[in-house]
Amino acid sequence: MADDSSAQNHTIWPLAKFYFQVDGLAGGVGNYFAEVSGLDTETEVIEYRHGNSENFSTIKMPGLRKVGNVTLKKGIFVKDNKFWDWFNAIKMNTPKRQTVVIKLLDESGAPTMTWTLNNAWPTKITGTDLKADGNEVAIETLELAYETLSIANG
């Protein structure tokens, strides 16, 4: 007999990733992003073997936690230099740090998942590529370094 999915819970679905918002960037840059990537964290592995171990192998223990950089892509708008202004405000060892909040939204616009990047600052900006025969939107890329990542639901 074929599965008519009547036993399935119709309220549980994977979240769509196209409806999101970014808050907290310098200069009030907000919700106009085409792509966000790099929301990752990892724990370094420490291999250890104590001197009187009977096993001729190491054990693996968790070490320091580290995060990667987050990349934000957005269209270039006339007279919108907020990324460049934030990047140019960096002087030797004195970046202007921000708390950046990335929210995945549901159909009604309410946040379902939130990633908070603490002490974020721009480490790289890439302007658009230019092509005489192209018809794409001009996209600039901002790469953010940050210290810690926290995730909240709902």
Query: What is the tens place of the pLDDT at every residue in 46-85?
Result: 999 888 888 888 999 999 999 999 999 999 888 888 888 8
Residue 88 reports pLDDT greater than 60: yes
More confident residue, 146 or 96: 146
Which residue's structure tokens are 């250890």?
Answer: 48
Residues of the chain with pLDDT > 70: what percent? 89
> Residue ranges of the domains in the chain?
20-40+67-153
Query: What is the tens place of the pLDDT at every residue in 115-133?
Result: 999 999 999 999 899 999 9
User: pTM above 0.95?
Assistant: no
The DSSP result for the chain, as a single string, is: ----STTS-TT--PPPSS-EEEE--GGG--S-EEEEE---EEEEEEEE--TT-SSSS-EEEEEEEEE--EEEEEE--TT--HHHHHHHT-BTTB---EEEEEEEE-TTS-EEEEEEEEEEEEEEEE-----TT--SPPEEEEEEE-SEEEEEE-
Determine the pLDDT at residue 53. Answer: 82
Mean pLDDT, all residues of the chain: 87
CATH of the domain spanning 20-40+67-153: 2.30.110.20
- Mean pLDDT over 7-12 rounds to 65
